[in-house]
Amino acid sequence: MRAITMPSYRQGKPDDGRALWADLRVCLHSIEAYALDDVDEVVIAWEGPWAPDGMPDNPKFRYLERPAGMDMAAAWTWAIEQTHADELIQMGDDSVLHPDTIRMLIEDVEMIRRDQPHRRIGVMGGRSNVVAGAQNIRQPNGGVMNGARGFTSESTIMETEFIFTVLAWYTRAAWEHVGRFPAGCIWGGDMLFSYDLKRLGYTNFISRAYMHHIGWRGSELAGGDPAQMKADGDAWLVQNRPDFVEYGVAQGYFSPDIYQHA
């Protein structure tokens, strides 16, 4: 069984009307148009002043009001706990799929399983326009431009160390093995998740699959401050996972300034 899991959080006032859930509405319509043949259910764990309206009416979509006040890690965990799926696809609610996004993500998982059966896949992460590191389509990753179609490297599956889970496939078994998402970590949790999987012997990959990502919408529309969120996340990592921070600084993934937030 395969499920897409998606927390969604918005704050608003009555005159926001349909605009409050506009990002989620567009995202889910793209899933309905392009991905429902490849998944068994879509779990939307929402929190807001009123229930999402104008959404696709399809039996594969489950709109569940989650307990109020959850942080990011807790919201993802709660969403996963609402499904029995053994394959999980995580994506943000401010995203739009291409026609082949989910199909290609799954094909890449099956390709690794077939051609490299000795590998245990940790996270298979998608490419996007708003994401850090090698998953960003602005990164050539050793490729050259192929006309208007992007870098040639985008047509390959790449092994990587860290994955940013704007779009990500992983198994429930791997998620359970690593100890689920790090409770209390609101920033950098996806990097920590993939780092811990690698330490347990899994391999992380970047898929050929692409998904458009707006970015920051949940934080911005809820009145959050991304700079403060990053500072809080850095402080949590320094205090709770100094091994991860030391490794990240040594490898150049983090600036030494991360210690200023402790």
Q: Over the stretch 137-151, which tens digit does the pLDDT of each residue have?
A: 898 888 899 888 888
Report the pLDDT value the prediction gives residue 190, as an integer from 0 to 100.
86
Which regions of the chain carry the CATH code 3.90.550.60?
2-224
197-207 tens-digit pLDDT: 999 999 999 99
Give the residue, 2 or 133, on which the prediction is more confident: 2
Average pLDDT over the chain, rounded to an integer: 90
- 174-183: long-range pairs with CB below 8 Å, 24+: 174/120, 174/121, 174/122, 174/123, 174/202, 175/80, 175/88, 180/77, 180/80, 181/73, 181/76, 181/77, 182/73, 182/240, 182/241, 183/73, 183/74, 183/77
Report the pLDDT value the prediction gives residue 222, as an integer from 0 to 100.
55
Report the pLDDT value the prediction gives residue 221, as an integer from 0 to 100.
54
Tokens 């490729």 belong to 143
Q: What is the CATH number of domain 2-224?
A: 3.90.550.60
Predicted confidence (pLDDT) at residue 219 exceeds the cutoff of 90: no
Question: If pLDDT is split at 50, 70 and 90, which confidence band does 44 have?
Answer: very high
Question: If pLDDT is split at 50, 70 and 90, which confidence band does 248 have?
Answer: confident
Mean pLDDT of 1-18: 90
